[in-house]
Amino acid sequence: MIRGIVFDKDGTLFDFRASWGRWAQGFLTQIARDDAHARQLAAAIGYLPDTNNFDPSSPVIAGTAKEIAGALLPHLEGHTLESLTQQIDAVATGVPMSEAVPLRALFEEFRARGLKLGVATNDSEIPARAHLERHGLTDLLDFIAGWDSGHGAKPGPGMCLAFATATGLDPAEVLMVGDSLHDLHAGQAAGMRPIAVLTGIAGEADLAPHAEVVLADIGGLPAWMDAQVAR
């Protein structure tokens, strides 16, 4: 029986390329000395400005703000890891996110099914909460955690286990839904059922061996859940 769902945020609730492409364009322009320096910084974090895309190894995809800062720091003067992490979070907080599907209606449907809902993201908690509030989701969530919320980052299971504790659910009754291997491995390590979506950078061939199912987007979850009950 499925009684709860933990969602990744970026690439799962929000389309990754559209949302974080905006962040990369704005942030790199802000901190770079010139166009050549901007391209050097883009390469350091695996951002492909000509196509507004990301290399699969980019720390922006599943890493934390501190990991992104660590990749940029050798190419910047006058910054510390802490100050650069704070600057990344400040810019990220204001970046418009593009919904992968209409989120409010979908989350209301999940609520009507009696499901407990949470978000576990490797984004920092403050920008994550800002994004969720802006899209009208906060009141529908039982749990929100970022990498800096005290439970560790994915692929560790800490955030997933914290959701189970907060909601009183057995992890085996919970879906962990995400677009990256970090998400799926975190769910597996917590004893949850890993579900993959294709609204991030990773492809089906990469995700399928680690997921119970690969869906085009989270809009396919209700039908998939109904099919599980009908078995």
* Structural domains of the chain, ranges and CATH numbers in brackets: 4-15+98-230 (3.40.50.1000), 17-94 (no CATH)
* pLDDT tens for each residue of 36-51: 999 999 999 999 999 9
Residue 219 CB: number of other CB atoms within 10 A?
16
* pLDDT tens for each residue of 72-102: 999 999 999 999 999 999 999 998 999 999 9
* pLDDT tens for each residue of 187-196: 999 999 999 9
Residue 96 DSSP symbol: P
For residues 177 and 218, the answer to whether their CB atoms sit within 8 Å is yes
* pLDDT tens for each residue of 199-226: 999 999 999 999 999 999 999 999 999 9
Nearest to 16 by CA among 201, 181, 154: 201
Give the pairing type, strands 4-7 and 116-120: parallel
- CA 99 to chain CA centroid, Å, is 12
Residue 20 carries which side chain, given as an amino acid letter? W
Stretch (H or E) spanning 118: strand 116-120
